[in-house]
Amino acid sequence: MTFNNFLFVALPYIAIITFVIGSIQRYRATGFKVSSLSSQFLEGRKLYFGSMAFHWGILAVFMGHLITFLFPTATLAWNSNPVRLIVLEVMAFTFGLSILIGLTGLFLRRLSTPRIKMVTNRMDLIIELLLLSQVVLGCWIALGYRWGASWFASDLSPYLWSIVKLNPQIEAVSAMPPVIRTHIVGAFVIIGMIPFTRLMHFLVAPFHYIFRPLQLVMWTWDRRRVRDPKTVWTVHRPKNN
């Protein structure tokens, strides 16, 4: 029981705190290094298949997990019709396979392309292996422990909510099969590692681009006001650094 307490109570909180504080600290201290570090410039063809399959897959699967976590009753209501449940499960599994194929491709690309090796560091490989094992476990669960969309909503979502509410209830999780428990632990480990890896780039995903005007002109200060002798001297901070 104590070991389960560590895995499902302590670890999640450590991971979340590390993620929040670590990300803020890293952004503030070394904001320059927060970049998607794209390697497309050095190799494009293998990246196309790997990156597209991986990113779209993980986007869909992540959204699936998030929605089930946030709206468990709605998910259960959707799943009450077997056809809809099967459609959902098949879609989720397809995206899972897409991640698996894409990530494997990306991992092999990192190992086999001489140019890409030059822009690969140890952390890139560690996080890719972690993600890869997480995806393998995920696909295994999807095949072996049906129907995930429903039991996630009924058993795991309350557990996650209990963590959010600072009142962890781990009975249901502790009773889960080892594969699922490993998947949960893996998830928290990855969350905790975000600040130390290139995964930081998804925190700076450019959604604000949708809302900003296309052209951007920056003035070091408001010269109209400063040059007007009638205004008092006010503090104009440069906006471009």
Ramachandran category for residue 46: left, alpha or beta (phi over 0 → left; psi -120 to 50 → alpha): alpha
Give the C-alpha separation, 132 to 183, whole Å: 11
Q: Quick check: 147 binds other proteins (CB under 8 A)?
A: no
Q: Quick check: 18 binds other proteins (CB under 8 A)?
A: no
DSSP 8-class letter at 204: G
30 burial via Cβ count (<10 Å: 0-12, 13-18, 19+) = exposed
Give the C-alpha separation, 36 to 183, whole Å: 26
Q: Which of 209, 229, 232, 234 binds other proteins (CB under 8 A)?
A: 209
| Span of 1-9, 148-156, 167-175, 233-241 interacting with other proteins by CB under 8 A | 233-241
Q: Quick check: 35 binds other proteins (CB under 8 A)?
A: yes
Q: Which of 37, 63, 74, 175 binds other proteins (CB under 8 A)?
A: 37
Q: Quick check: 229 binds other proteins (CB under 8 A)?
A: no
Binding residues for other proteins, rule CB under 8 A, total: 57
- Region 75-114 residues binding other proteins, contact defined as CB under 8 A: 114
50 burial via Cβ count (<10 Å: 0-12, 13-18, 19+) = buried
The residue behind tokens 């129907």 is 147
Q: Which of 1, 83, 214, 232 binds other proteins (CB under 8 A)?
A: 214
Q: Which of 16, 22, 55, 168 binds other proteins (CB under 8 A)?
A: 55
If DSSP codes are grouped into helix, strand and coil, which group holds residue 221?
A: coil
Q: Quick check: 218 binds other proteins (CB under 8 A)?
A: yes
Cα torsion angle, 92, 94, 100, 105, sign: negative
Q: Quick check: 204 binds other proteins (CB under 8 A)?
A: yes
Q: Which one, of 200, 198, 195, lies nearest residue 119 by Cα?
A: 198
Name residue 111's amino acid: L
Nearer to other proteins, 1 or 118 (CB): 118
User: Which residue ranges make up the site for other proteins (CB under 8 A)?
Assistant: 30-44, 47-48, 51-52, 55-56, 114-115, 117-119, 121, 123, 196-198, 200-201, 204, 206, 208-210, 212, 214-224, 226-227, 235, 237-238, 240-241
